[in-house]
Structure 1
Amino acid sequence: MRVFKKLALSLGLAAAALAPTMPSVAAEVTTLRFSQWMPPGHFIVTNMFEPWAQEVEKATEGRVKVEFINALGKPQAHLDLVRNGIADMGMSVHSYTANRFPLIEIAELPFTTDDGGVNSVAYWRTYEKFMMGADEHKGVKLLGMWTSPATVIFTSQDNVQSIEDLKGKKLRSPSPLFDAIGKALGIVTVNAPASDSYEMLSRGVIDGMYFQYDQLDNWKLDKLVKTAVSVEGGFGKSSQYMFMNERKWKSLSEQDRAAIEKISGEWIANDFGTKWQVAEQQAIEKHTAAGLKTLRIEGEAATQLQERLAFVEENWIKAADKKGVDGKAALAYFREQIKELSAAK
């Protein structure tokens, strides 16, 4: 009997000694289904979303993962898809449902900065300071917002010598802001998401579009356009955002929410906006070398263009005031941030 007691004691001590090295029960993993409507190889997917998803997994020590799934609806439907829980996460372009987001147009205004990184961070800071309380993204957890570099006008025409040569041309417009700009310049606007650009241009439904240089490759438009028309600060920008179902967000642990917050907000604005600007500069150099002509509106012509489009800014200030936001103060702060961020580069 004594022998058996000694054996039992020895086994117990051995088990106790090994206990610290025994693997613990694996923590439960939460997988977030991200409905992705862009082409899998699109720059925004491979250089922004996928690296961010890796950062999420790293920040949460593997407890939260992002799974990219085929689009569960059209680009403009993604806000409601996520809000209703059909998908856990998504991204969209604010202008696709512009009536819901009158305040974000501050980031899309013309003549601000060519730099998408600078514009994105200034945008986030301004929105957070002046407009977050308006709760335009009600029903979803807003993870981040960013903008494109300066928007230019691309056309399949090769004889554009001035802004007046665009009169009567049909351009794909992504938002009411560009609709208004087009109307002021005598341009016929055709509303459509970016994903329709190639088919519309190749079939002659449109003569061109408002876009960025890097998108010529992303949407395979490089063989269809012949002239770019640009101006300092751009004709505008494209405001985009990433979001999560609110219930799904709240279901995450406090620790994981805090970890994801650190790589959201301004972090996303800076990371996404800066990467896009680098890609844009590379695309400008590539397409210019390949023979794409660029008409740069400068000097007196640029001054006149700004005067013709001054109403765009005035309209935004009025819209902001209606939402209870001091439009002039917000715009002044936005410009101040752009100036400071530009000087720091």
Structure 2
Amino acid sequence: MPSILHRRLRASRAALALAAALAALACAPAVAQDKPVNLKMSSWVPAQHPLNPALQAWADDIKKASGGTITATLFPSEQLGKAFDHYDMARDGIADLAYVNPGYQPGRFPIMAGASLPFLFSNGKSGSAAIDAWYRQYAAKEMKDIKVCFAFVHDPGTFHARKKITLPTDINGMKIRPATSTIGQMVTLLGGTNVQASAPAARDALEKGVADAITFPWGSIILFGIDKVVKYHIDVPLYVTPFVWGMNKDKYESMSAAQKKVIDDHCTSEWAEKVAANWADYEAAGKGKIAAEAGHEVYKLTPEQLDAWRKAVAPVEGTWAEGVKKTGEDPKAVLDNLKASLVKYKAAL
């Protein structure tokens, strides 16, 4: 017969085991007990664009971190709506997450437009971390209709044209498809005419002669088939286009606290750089590919020509500043903060 002491010890061990099991049951399945959520992610670039696998990798990591309760379906190639409409699609819940180019709606997001001022960014990788860290202090006000997950940029783009451009005076009389509203202001300042066309529609505009030139990153010139139309390319990091990965607020609020934390942990400057990295490499590699194509001329500017460009586009900052003042922000402080972030992340030109 077991002694009273032994029986008490067994009972104590059993009670401890039961308590541990109950504690594990209470804690471990917290995520698993969350209701399943499927996110509709919209990307307007073609399925083969390098951004899409990066967005899918982001979603896959969220699935893992949420214990499988948050899954996502990616819809590329404007399946859910036109490129110009993606901010409103995220706002209205047509997409739960949307790839937004704020520059597609001139004047609507004046603070973010500062990121596409000429001659600021040296690269798209750390540049993406820099713009995200900077824009976080303004996003809730300027893009209040959505949850801004993170901001990022492509690798610096330049002019690609049907005729050779070397000086800012060459823009006079030309029809240019600008990447952003800020670049559009630059074109107007230099005497050119802006032609509005989304990236997927740009080749058609150039082929039909509606546009004479385009501002675009290097690799995407090939991806969108624009290299079949334009033959002259300035080898200078002229600008970047800022983007936002934006989320529908109601979708976010419908999630559990644990699921919201998973989303928040994936809406960071680190993730901005991760998502942008492969795309940045792809764009940078495009320059060499274009240079190797028959009939194409990739050329650098002389120091004198580059100086002429810097002086000619300087007034664009003043035009941008007027738009920022209407938001109640100090444009000098906004731009100084951006430049400081670029220096911090080693992305300043």
Structure 2 length as normaliser, TM-score?
0.83
Q: Which residue of 1 aligns with 2:262?
A: 259
Q: Is the 8 A contact 1:149 1:277 kept in 2?
A: yes
Cα displacement (A) at 1:146:
0.7
Query: In the alignment, what sits opposite 1:119?
Result: 127
Query: Which of 110-119 and 319-328 deviates more?
Result: 319-328
The answer on 1:43 being equivalent to 2:50 is: yes
Give the partner amino acid of 2:290.
H
Q: Which residue of 2 aligns with 1:205?
A: 210
1:305 is paired with a residue whose SS is helix
- SS of the counterpart of 1:271? helix
Match of 1:10 in 2: none
* 2:37 corresponding residue in structure 1: 30
C-alpha distance in structure 2 between counterparts of 1:296 and 1:152, whole Å: 11
Aligned mate of 2:333, from 324, 329, 332: 329
Amino acid at match of 1:306: R
Which residue is equivalent to 2:319? 315
Deviation at 1:78, TM superposition (A): 2.1
Equivalent-residue separation in structure 1 for 2:162 and 2:280 (angstroms)? 24
Identity %: 25
Contact 1:122/1:338 (8 A) holds in 2: yes
For 1:323, what is the secondary structure of its paired residue?
Answer: coil
Aligned with 2:68 (options 53, 62, 74)? 62
Q: Which residue of 1 aligns with 2:343?
A: 339
Aligned partner (choices 211, 217, 224) of residue 219 of structure 1: 224
Amino acid at match of 2:59: A
Contact 1:43 1:218 in 2 (8 A): no
* Counterpart residue number, 2:310: 306
1:57/1:245 Cα in 2 relative to 1: closer, same or farther (>3 Å)?
same
Q: What is the SS of the residue equivalent to 1:132? A: helix
For 1:343 and 1:309, the matched residues in 2 are separated by 21
Instruction: Using the TM superposition, give the Cα deviation of residue 27 of structure 1 relative to its aligned residue in structure 2, in angstroms.
Output: 5.5
Matches of 2:33 and 2:129, distance apart in 1: 38
- Amino acid in the other structure paired with 2:250: R
Shift of 1:161: 4.9
Match of 1:176 among 158, 178, 181: 181
Instruction: Give CA deviations for 1:174-210 in whole Å, capped at 9, x if unaligned.
Output: 3321221112222222111111012112222222211
Aligned to 1:75: 83
Alpha-carbon distance in structure 1 between the residues aligned to 2:189 and 2:204: 26
RMSD of Structure 2 on Structure 1 (CA) = 2.5
Larger deviation, residues 183-192 vs 24-33:
24-33
1:271 aligns with 2:274: yes
Code of the residue aligned with 2:278 in structure 1: it is K
Q: 1:101 to 1:161 in 2, by over 3 A?
A: closer
Question: Which amino acid in 2 is paired with 1:100?
Answer: R
**How many equivalent pairs are there?**
319
SS at 2:281 equivalent: helix
For structure 1, the residue ranges without an aligned partner over 5 or more in a row are 1-15
* 1:141 equivalent among 147, 154, 170: 147
SS of the aligned residue for 2:160 comes to strand
Residue 95 of structure 2, aligned match among 66, 74, 87: 87
| Alignment-mate amino acid for residue 249 of structure 1 | Y
Q: Which one-letter code corresponds to 1:128 in the other structure?
A: R
| Residues 167 and 309 in structure 2, CA contact (< 8 A), matched pair in contact too | no
In structure 2, how many angstroms separate the alpha carbons of the residues matched to 1:26 and 1:314?
54
Q: Deviation at 1:298? A: 3.5
* 2:235 and 2:300 in contact (8 A); partners too: yes
CA distance in 2, matches of 1:75, 1:343: 27
Q: SS of the counterpart of 1:37?
A: coil
Q: Give me the whole-angstrom Cα distance separating, in 2, the residues matched to 1:244 and 1:341.
A: 25
**What residue is the counterpart of 2:172 in the other structure?**
167
- After superposition, what is the alpha-carbon deviation per residue over 1:285-318, rounded to whole angstroms, capped at 9, x for unaligned? 2222235322323412212211111111223333
Q: Please state how far the C-alpha of 1:109 moved relative to its aligned partner.
A: 1.0
What code does the residue aligned with 1:179 have?
G
Q: In structure 2, what residue type is equivalent to 1:132?
A: A
State how far apart, in whole Å, the 2-side matches of 1:28 and 1:322 are. Answer: 43
